[in-house]
């Protein structure tokens, strides 16, 4: 049998698909809140009270928006260093993008029924799949030579793995907590989104090129 070599594909179409999915999802997540404010019969003179009553939906929107934004930043950085892709990598990314699109559904569900433990579990599972998909994509790209060869790639992979493990642990705790008190679980999801969004500002996303010759 002839030796078979994996087909190398350009990353431009993946870039376009990723940008489109994140843009649509991050925009549509706000529509459930807009629909409530613009519904027939809404008395605009009571806008402060209306916004107060809708705060769970706003909170769910902001949680999911910043999580999606952090993952979008991670994707941008990773794809910038990816030189080419293959079919298996594309399947990993498509699976992750599926979880991104489901975030709009689970976030709306969370805003509508935050007192339901099953809703909290659905949202937590969605988040776990998102974080695991991101880590698996980076791991596959590094292990299979899809990214630029850098001396610090393994350090990068370990750093991302730690962040993902922290996120998965936090989501697991929140889901477990929801069985006892869903409101506390909701608040924990809010704190996690705030923590990971702020920590992203101080993480080494823009790591410099480092080769063995530079050492």
| Residue ranges covered by each domain of the chain | 12-35+46-203
User: What pLDDT score was predicted for residue 46?
Assistant: 64
In the three-class reduction of DSSP (H, G, I as helix; E, B as strand; rest coil), residue 57 is classed as: helix
Task: Give the pLDDT confidence of 175-205 residue by residue, as tens digits.
Answer: 898 888 888 888 888 888 777 766 665 554 4
Q: Could you tell me the pTM of the whole model?
A: 0.76
Residue 124 token pair: 């937590």
Instruction: Kindly tell me the burial class for residue 178, based on how many C-beta atoms sit within 10 Å of its own C-beta (0-12, 13-18, 19 or more).
Output: buried
Tell me how far apart the alpha carbons of residues 154 and 101 are, in angstroms, rounded to a whole number.
30
In the three-class reduction of DSSP (H, G, I as helix; E, B as strand; rest coil), residue 85 is classed as: strand
Give me the tens of pLDDT residue by residue for the chain, a chain 215 residues long: 455 566 666 788 888 888 888 888 888 777 766 666 666 666 666 667 767 777 777 777 887 788 788 788 878 777 777 888 888 989 999 999 999 888 888 888 887 787 888 988 998 999 899 889 888 888 888 888 887 766 566 777 777 788 888 888 888 998 898 888 888 888 888 888 777 766 665 554 444 444 444 44
Residue 136 token pair: 């698996």
Contact, 200 vs 72, CB < 8 A? no
In the three-class reduction of DSSP (H, G, I as helix; E, B as strand; rest coil), residue 202 is classed as: coil
User: What pLDDT score was predicted for residue 196?
Assistant: 72
Contact, 117 vs 178, CB < 8 A? yes
Query: Other C-beta atoms within 10 Å of 211: how many?
Result: 11
User: Which residues contact residue 213 at a Cβ distance below 8 angstroms, ignoring those fewer than 6 apart?
Assistant: none
Got the DSSP string for 157-176? Answer: HHHHHHHHHHHHHHHHHHHH
Angle, helix 87-112 to helix 117-143, in steps of 10 degrees: 160
Residue 139 token pair: 């791991």
């Amino acid at each position: 049998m002839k030796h078979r070599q994996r087909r190398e594909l350009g990353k431009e179409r993946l870039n376009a698909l990723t940008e489109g999915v994140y843009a649509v999802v991050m925009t549509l997540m706000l529509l459930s809140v807009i629909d409530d404010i613009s519904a027939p019969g809404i008395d605009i003179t009571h806008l402060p009270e209306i916004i107060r009553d809708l705060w769970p939906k706003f909170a769910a929107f902001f949680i999911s928006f910043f999580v999606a934004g952090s993952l979008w930043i991670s994707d941008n950085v990773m794809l910038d260093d990816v030189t080419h892709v293959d079919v298996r990598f594309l399947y990993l990314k498509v699976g992750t993008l599926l979880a991104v699109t489901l975030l709009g559904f689970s976030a709306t569900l969370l805003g509508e029924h935050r007192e339901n433990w099953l809703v909290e579990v659905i949202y937590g599972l969605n988040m776990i799949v998102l974080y695991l998909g991101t880590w698996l994509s980076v791991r596959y790209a590094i292990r299979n030579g899809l990214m630029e060869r850098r001396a610090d790639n393994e350090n990068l992979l370990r750093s991302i793995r730690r962040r993902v493990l922290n996120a998965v642990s936090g989501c697991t705790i929140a889901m477990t907590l929801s069985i006892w008190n869903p409101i506390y679980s909701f608040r924990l999801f809010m704190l996690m989104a705030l923590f990971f969004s702020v920590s992203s500002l101080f993480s080494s996303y823009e790591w410099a090129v480092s080769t063995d010759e530079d050492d």
